Chain A
Amino acid sequence: MPLRIDRTKRLTLDAFLVTLALIFSYVEVLLPFFPGLPGVKLGLANLVVLIALYRLGAKDAFLINLVRILLAGLLFAGAYGLLYSLAGGIFSFLVMVVLKNTGHFSVPGVSMAGGVAHNLAQLAVAMLMVQNVNLLFYYPVLVLSGIVTGILIGIGAVLLSKYLHRLS
């Protein structure tokens, strides 16, 4: 359920979540989750997006996600990486919103679908950018890693959300 809070408090919360997501993005730049496998990351920033999606609703979550991707892209990745993370971030967000709205999935389930969608969108962009179909060979690995990281992030979001609730 989205929280009923006034506008100033909402903006403060949005800014706080963007900052948190940026910190997570930076942590991931420093510590790759599965070194050696291209494009496989834990997606810690998605933790924040999930919490925003369930606590503040799709509109705020989308804005937080977009600002997070643009800032992280400018700070840590550069133009090519920005395109790559925009594709992953927006596609996985759309998938998560659709699944959440069906009401049939739990937070870890929604996050799992988001993780897989994120990886597959990035694979598609990579295939377009380097114009090579052979990248398809990575897709089973990317689906599996999306499942694992998505579920972990979803469980993390449930726990973190409970903790944040206790704070406020």
Chain B
Amino acid sequence: MQTNTTIFKILKKADFLLLGALLLFAFAGSILLARAQKAPGETVRVTVDGEVYGEYPLSQDAEIFLPPTNDSSADGFHGENVIVIAGGEVRMREADCKNQVCVRTGSISRPGQTIVCLPHRVVVTILKGEEVLDAVTH
């Protein structure tokens, strides 16, 4: 208990100001993003290395298999990914990447939501029908 009181004693005013600012920053962002995500998603876009691999309707159940490739470019080897569209949701069912972050992300269904497999440079994004945030990049 004695250590607890010393920890509270060492916290300074600037700590709380910074905490407040960061919370506000996160909160404002989540409100803006929640507004963008209100509309139901319509299209699933799969990109590999920043290039569109394919677009699929969210309403139609499908299984998308991205085979491993072994090109000689600097980007090198891309492993295997299995994307499943079912019941209006998309998830990464399987991937042979090292970190498995994409698989653990779970299901997504709203526009703008994204599953990323960073090791394989694979991105699964849900679009509103047309582009969501893509206008910013082009």
Contact = CB atoms under 8 A, between A and B. Distances in A.
A133 B22 contact: no
A129 B119 CA distance: 10
A164 to B, nearest CB: 14
A30 interface: no
A126 B118 contact: yes
A116 B21 CA distance: 12
A38 B101 contact: yes
Interface string B15-43: 10011001101110110010001000000
A112 B15 contact: yes
Contacts of A136: 33, 133
Contact of A130 (B106, B118, B132, B133): B118
Interface string A105-119: 111110011001000
A159 B16 CA distance: 20
Interface residues of A, number: 42
Contacts of B7: 108, 155, 158
Contacts of B106: 36
A144 B118 contact: no
B22 A143 contact: yes
A140 B26 CA distance: 4
Contacts of B121: 129-130
Contacts of A80: 118-119
A104 interface: yes
B33 A77 contact: no
Nearest to A146: B22
B50 interface: yes
A77 B98 contact: yes
A105 B15 contact: yes
A133 B137 contact: yes
Interface of A: 32, 35-39, 77-78, 80-81, 84, 102, 104-109, 112-113, 116, 126, 129-140, 143-144, 146-147, 155, 158-159, 162
Given A109-B19, A130-B116, 12 more contacts: A32-B104, A38-B101, A38-B116, A104-B12, A107-B10, A109-B12, A129-B118, A136-B133, A139-B26, A139-B29, A144-B26, A155-B7
